[in-house]
Amino acid sequence: MIPTLITVSGILATIIYIASYLTGHAFIATTAAIWTMCSDFLDGNVARILRQETELGAALDPINDRFFLMAVLGNILYLKGVEAVYNVWGATIIASEIGIILVVVITLTVFNKKVKVNFVGKIRQIGHLILMGTVLADSYYAIGRFAPLPQLRSVLQMMAFLSFTAFVFYLGRAFTICQKNPLIK
């Protein structure tokens, strides 16, 4: 119950984040983004500690992750223009993340098996949060004046690498599930 509420609060915070950056409220957008990131780390850990892991929570968590990623890419698009994200790196990120969703959904619906998040998926998520955070922090608060930050193109390249690598690992896990559970015997 509590972990699912944390996840739902992260989804609601993402909605607040979107509304805030569209209306020019940078502080509210930042606060909502930070809560979304915190909820992503808290929900699963709290579920394990309280032994409250549920199917709903397991389904909502990756939705929250992808929703926030798309919201941040939308924010970057809003701040930097279409050409900032409309490139091979942005396309790779989006295609890989959609691919992960499809792999998870197809494996669950066809084989009734979960493709569990692995170490690579967690590294991808942490990497995305850090990289997106640097872009947004620089865009809203000009922190690049005080510390060297990677350029947006480099950030998107790193994010694309993380997303594509995670997609390949998810695909590999799904393939293993398919081999162990053939549809035709």
Give me the helix-helix angle, 88-111 and 55-80, nearest 10°. Answer: 170
Tell whether 185 is covered by a domain.
Answer: no
Tell whether 87 is covered by a domain.
Answer: yes
Our count of domains for the chain comes to 1
Helix (H) or strand (E) holding 123: helix 119-141
Domain that holds residue 123: 2-180
Helix (H) or strand (E) holding 111: helix 88-111
Examine the pLDDT at 103 and tell me if it is beyond 70. Answer: yes
Tell whether 143 is covered by a domain.
Answer: yes
Tell whether 97 is covered by a domain.
Answer: yes
Closest CA to 61 of 100, 7, 120, 105: 7
Q: How high is the pLDDT of residue 17?
A: 95
Q: How high is the pLDDT of residue 185?
A: 57
Q: What is the mean pLDDT of residues 67-88?
A: 87
Q: Give tens-digit pLDDT for 35-67.
A: 998 998 888 888 889 888 887 887 788 888 888
Tell whether 46 is covered by a domain.
Answer: yes
Tell whether 122 is covered by a domain.
Answer: yes
Residue 33 CA to residue 136 CA, distance in Å, equals 10
Tell whether 104 is covered by a domain.
Answer: yes
Name the phi and psi angles at 48, rounded to 5: -70, -45
Q: 97-106, 113-122, 136-145, 163-172 — which is least confidently predicted? A: 113-122
Look up the CATH number of the domain holding residue 70.
1.20.120.1760
Q: How confident is the model at residue 184 (pLDDT cuts 50, 70, 90)?
A: low
Closest CA to 59 of 4, 110, 124, 134: 4
Tell whether 121 is covered by a domain.
Answer: yes
Tokens of 45: 């850990």
